[in-house]
Amino acid sequence: MKSRQTYRIWINRICSGLVCLFCLLALVPFFAVVWSLLSHGLELFHTNLFDQLFLNYSDEMVRQVEETSVSANILYGMGGSLLIVIIGLIPAVPLGILFTLYVFENRFHGFASLIYYLGASISGIPSVIIGMIAYLWIVEPLNGFPALAGGLSLSIMMLPIISHYTLHVLNILPVGLKESAMALGASYTDTMLRIVLPSMKNGLFAGILMTVSRMIAQSVPLIIIVMGTSAIQGDKSLSHAALPVLIWNFFNCPDMIHRMWAASLTLFLMVLVLTVFAKCMSYPLQNKKRISL
Amino acid sequence: MNSEYILELKDLSVSYSPDKYAVKKVSASIAPNIVTSIIGPSGCGKTTLLRSINRLHELYPSTQVRGEILLKGENIQKLPSVEVRRRIGMVFQQPNVFPQMSIFENVISGYQLNYIVLSKQDKMNVVEESLVAAALWEEVKDILYKKPTTLSIEQQQCLCIARAIALKPEILLMDNFTFSLDSERTDRMEELIYQMKEEQTIIVTTQNLSHAARISDYTIFMEEGRLIEFGVTSNIFLKPANKRTEQYITNQMQ
């Protein structure tokens, strides 16, 4: 009997050890990225990172595309990134929330489930295709407006993420809340707009912040739009106007590689701050229950 | 059309899925200003019956209703659901305060949601009257503008009662509302119901038979969705006409 107990204790210890080991292994990529960014980026952080410099491209292909030099001020990049994300949020937030409210309220109908899965499948579309679509929809017919195209591409990518967080918040909302409002004689619209949506405020705000933190570092659709805009329209306004694109531009200049690390560290810190802030917001006071976003 | 009864149920059947009736052919007439308890084992259709009175069961898809519910002689199916719910208030088993509103706003939320404009003084009067009636005024009078989430579950349930009675409904439905209350507050609620019936007709569902015996004038006993017996509370508890009622009460009281 005792030997069986000892055997179980040892099996427990081995399994616990393996779980801890794999947890640590899962954290290795995160710490490797943080270490690279800090070791390369931190020493340059105090230098004149926000100075107006111009990029000189060594890569022949890129030089052909970028005939004139582009500003290397990462303040432009930070502001531009925020602007593009805000352009993306303007249609994505109301559409994502209303779409999910519709799906949640009609969850027993097959049609609502079908369109929810169709909406969620947007997250499976490669970002390069979304970048090309935004380019073809905006830049080509309007002969410019790359920031708008960038915002649109991010907006498409934001929809399933906002929808996911909205559904999550709706699922933890007490069922009786809606019934209580309706039992007071409130109409369905008033119940949704004046009781249900305001009760979701904290969770939704946290979800939007998480969406921003994921989207602010998106590079592929923006690079596609920049390449297209520069090559065909000769417009370079977006080349320095988004941090991920700027990092890509730094990467193409051998003498600017140190700035690439500093800009990457800046972007990483922006994402980190947004994520931590969103996590703090996701403690809804009303339930004392945590939404794990 | 005038009627001596405020509420009449005529052959009422309610189902949540086709041909599976949770309430089967219930008929009862309820006079104004009395307290009626609905008792019966779990799953006997008490809550479904209660929710069908203010048409709240319609929030679930594929519900079917047969028979009629008359509110002062008017068929509630022919009235707008919003009007029915304004005239027939409800308190739920679990308190559901509106977390984004203050205690004050919670009490007058019924007026706000129905776009009934009150003057500042009227608002204050409604809040004070309702909270006094719900036995919560003394505890919250200094924190009226704080969020209700800071209150205990019992206080939140009292706030929900205050919110429901603030609109002065003709009938107040209370679904197992003492579930979240301790014995002391349950006693206070019993006193409150006794006072409230001067102005309102009250229908409660409860699992607690002694609670039902103390507060109600009439009692409905239900089993498997059917109304087994309906009569004066003292008769139901002391001289039940039906053997099943007697059996249930005897088992529960032991």
Say what the ipTM of the complex is: 0.89
Is B54 within 8 Å of chain A by CB? yes
Rounded to a whole number of angstroms, the distance from the CA of B118 to the nearest CA of chain A is 16
| pLDDT higher than threshold 90 for residue A142 | no
Q: Residue B160: its chain A contacts at CB < 8 A?
A: 180
Is B153 within 8 Å of chain A by CB? no
Give pLDDT tens digits for A261-284: 888 888 888 888 888 888 787 765
Q: Which of A185, A195, A198 sits opposite B82 (nearest CB)?
A: A185
Note the pLDDT of residue A32: 92
Regions in chain B scoring below 50 on pLDDT: 1
Strand, helix or coil for residue A147: helix
Average pLDDT for residues A230-250, to the nearest whole number? 68
Q: Do A176 and B59 touch (CB under 8 A)?
A: no
Note the pLDDT of residue A238: 56
| pLDDT higher than threshold 60 for residue A60 | no
Note the pLDDT of residue B70: 93
Is B85 within 8 Å of chain A by CB? yes
Task: Give the CA distances from residue A62 to residues A33, A219, A229, A261, in Å, rounded to whole numbers and listed in that order.
Answer: 27, 17, 13, 20
Q: Which residue, among B18, B132, B120, has the nearest Cα to B66 in the 3D structure?
A: B18
Write down the CATH superfamily of domain A47-292.
Answer: MetI-like (1.10.3720.10)
Nearest CA in chain B to A189: B113
For the ranges A11-20, A31-40, A140-149, the one whose mean pLDDT is highest: A11-20
Note the pLDDT of residue A58: 46
Mutation for testing the A interface, residue in B109, B146, B172, B176 having most A CBs under 10 Å:
B109
Rounded to a whole number of angstroms, the distance from the CA of A215 to the nearest CA of chain B is 29
Give pLDDT tens digits for A165-190: 999 899 888 888 999 999 999 999 99
Mutation for testing the A interface, residue in B51, B59, B163 having most A CBs under 10 Å:
B59
Is B234 within 8 Å of chain A by CB? no
> Parallel, antiparallel, or unpaired: how do β-strands B201-205 and B64-71 relate?
unpaired
Is B109 within 8 Å of chain A by CB? yes
Residue appearing with tokens 């007709």: B201
Exposed (0-12), middle (13-18) or buried (19+): which is A3, by Cβ within 10 Å? exposed
Is B80 within 8 Å of chain A by CB? no
Note the pLDDT of residue B232: 93
Is B174 within 8 Å of chain A by CB? no
Domain ranges of chain A: 1-44, 47-292
Is B172 within 8 Å of chain A by CB? no
Q: Residue B100: its chain A contacts at CB < 8 A?
A: 198-199, 201
Is A110 within 8 Å of chain B by CB? no
Which carries the bigger pLDDT value, residue A69 or residue A248? A248
Is A178 within 8 Å of chain B by CB? yes
| pLDDT higher than threshold 50 for residue A63 | no
Q: Residue A109: its chain B contacts at CB < 8 A?
A: 61
| pLDDT higher than threshold 60 for residue A126 | yes
Q: Which of A109, A180, A187 sits opposite B96 (nearest CB)?
A: A180
Q: A 194-213 residues with CB below 8 A of B?
A: 194-195, 198-199, 201
Nearest CA in chain A to B62: A108
Asked whether B47 and B16 are in contact (CB, 8 A), the reply is: no
Q: Which residue, among B65, B107, B63, B77, has the nearest Cα to B89 in the 3D structure?
A: B107
Strand, helix or coil for residue B25: strand
Q: Do A176 and B92 touch (CB under 8 A)?
A: yes
Note the pLDDT of residue A156: 92
Q: Which residue, among A207, A172, A164, A173, has the nearest Cα to A192 in the 3D structure?
A: A173
Is B46 within 8 Å of chain A by CB? no
Return the ∠ at Cα A47 (arms to A46 and A48), rounded to 5°. Answer: 125
Is A185 within 8 Å of chain B by CB? yes
| pLDDT higher than threshold 50 for residue A137 | yes
Rounded to a whole number of angstroms, the distance from the CA of A176 to the nearest CA of chain B is 6
Q: Which residue, among B29, B7, B46, has the nearest Cα to B179 in the 3D structure?
A: B46
DSSP secondary structure string for all residues of A53-120? -B----SHHHHHH--S--B--HHHHHHHHHHHHHHHHHHHHHHHHHHHHHHHHTTTSHHHHHHHHHHH
Average pLDDT for residues A242-250, to the nearest whole number? 80
Q: Which residues pair with B218 in a beta bridge?
A: B36, B232
Mutation for testing the B interface, residue in A105, A180, A201, A283 having most B CBs under 10 Å:
A180
Is A81 within 8 Å of chain B by CB? no
Average pLDDT for residues A232-243, to the nearest whole number? 61
Note the pLDDT of residue B211: 85
Average pLDDT for residues A83-97, to the nearest whole number? 92
Note the pLDDT of residue A196: 92
| Residue B55 backbone dihedrals phi, psi, to 5 degrees | 60, 30
pLDDT grade for A74, boundaries at 50, 70 and 90: confident
